[in-house]
Amino acid sequence: MLGQKLLPWDYGVRNLFRRPSRSALTLGGLTIVVLLVLVVVGFIRGLEKSLAATGNPNVVLVYALSSGADIENSSIPGRTPSLLSASVDGVRRQHGVEYVSPELYLATRITASGMSEPGMGLVRGVTTTTPLVRDKVQLTEGTWPQSGEVMVGRLAHSKLGAKEDDLAVGQQVSFDGQTWTISGSFTAAGSAFESEIWAPLADLQTALKRQDLSMVAVAMDSPDGVADVDLFCRERIDLELKAVSESGYYASLQKHYKPVRMLGWVVVALVAGSGIFAGLNTMYGAVVGRVRELATLQALGFRRRAILLTLVQEATLLACAGAIVACVAGLLLVDGTAVRFTMGAFMLSVDSVGIAVACGVAALLGVVGALPPAVKAMRLPVVEAIKSI
């Protein structure tokens, strides 16, 4: 019974091809709006994933109490790793090797072979125990750095503002008055480590003329071991140390970037709102040009509700087509694009959440954008509408 009152489904589909230029322009506008939404959501999701992937609840970071949460400004005695290993139970061990990673961390100006000006990069002094603690790090090309060598994360070039080829294996980088040869490259499951350059700890200490460390990363047998390390730091007040789980440390950084994420969602709302107004303008133009056609349908016996649903159907189909085109373009062009930020670099992520938000915005554009002009057209008297030009 309801089907007899509605216009055929293919009537709305055919209408889209009766005016190809107008349909193409509307489709292009909707695609751009949805793509902008996808880019902003991809930025938010990429930042969240990068910070979330960096934290490991079994790893404890020990750094200077006076540095606050800024590890770059931390300076702790070089004997701290051995004191931790000897004093704290629960440190992970395998084949006689303790999972303790002394590290020196700094931000400095780095020049690659193809760069005209140095860029600000992140350097971490590491030892052979570092991959045991940072278990997400995988060497993808080349070898572990020996004396005078470094290995680079896959996003280090983005942090420096250099080309990817400038940091290829075999190229050279210079910082702090010394030139280093790139021996390998690594990934770290999308974590912040991927924007860093890793050098042998002893070589970096020599280049910087430092004997201290920035921090010690300790892998424990369980997350409960964090309390033991924290107790050690509280008892050894002479060392002025602070212990925090790695996951807790990066969770605090996520709070620091909460205003950025909130701003991103505000931008999503603004883009969607502007898209709705653009859709309204487009649909007003499309409906005004079809007033006589719509009045004729009413004269043939079709109810206003059926005609209204057809107009919404046309707009929703266009919006869904725009969403599909935008998602394909986002996966091909936006997903994986590197973006620099203060802690390094991360990749834009077009994931299921981003696609769901984009499709939801597209459906909103189709329905909300079509309703006002369609309702206005339906209010015109049939005779007056048929006589209109």
Q: How far apart are CA 77 and CA 294, in angstroms?
A: 82
H or E segment to which residue 37 belongs? helix 20-54
pLDDT digits (tens, 9 = 90+) for 68-88: 777 888 899 999 999 988 888
The owner of tokens 């934290």 is: 55
- Give, in degrees to the nearest 5, the angle at Cα 218 between 257 and 252: 15
Torsion sign over Cα 254, 256, 259, 264: negative
pLDDT digits (tens, 9 = 90+) for 231-262: 988 888 888 898 988 888 877 777 777 777 78
Please tell me the pTM assigned to this model.
0.73
Q: How far apart are CA 158 and CA 173, in angstroms?
A: 14
Q: How far apart are CA 163 and CA 129, in angstroms?
A: 30
> Which among 343, 350, 349 is positioned nearest to 326, based on CA atoms?
350
Q: CB neighbours of 355 closer than 8 A, spacing ≥ 6?
A: 38, 327, 330
- Rounded to the nearest integer, the mean pLDDT of the chain is 84
Average pLDDT over residues 329-346: 81
Q: How far apart are CA 371 and CA 32, in angstroms?
A: 21
For residue 159, with 0-12 CB atoms within 10 Å meaning exposed, 13-18 middle and 19 or more buried, which class applies?
buried
Q: Go through the chain and tell me how many residues it has.
A: 389
Q: Which two tokens stand for residue 275?
A: 């898209």
pLDDT digits (tens, 9 = 90+) for 163-181: 888 899 999 999 988 999 9
Q: How confident is the model at residue 326 (pLDDT cuts 50, 70, 90)?
A: very high
Q: How far apart are CA 245 and CA 173, in angstroms?
A: 33
CA-only gyration radius of the chain, Å: 30
Q: How far apart are CA 3 and CA 179, in angstroms?
A: 77
Q: CB neighbours of 95 closer than 8 A, spacing ≥ 6?
A: none
> Which among 85, 114, 103, 69 is positioned nearest to 342, based on CA atoms?
69
pLDDT score, position 76? 92
The owner of tokens 């420096």 is: 160
Q: How far apart are CA 5 and CA 303, in angstroms?
A: 7
Q: Which two tokens stand for residue 322?
A: 């725009």
pLDDT score, position 389? 55
pLDDT score, position 2? 45
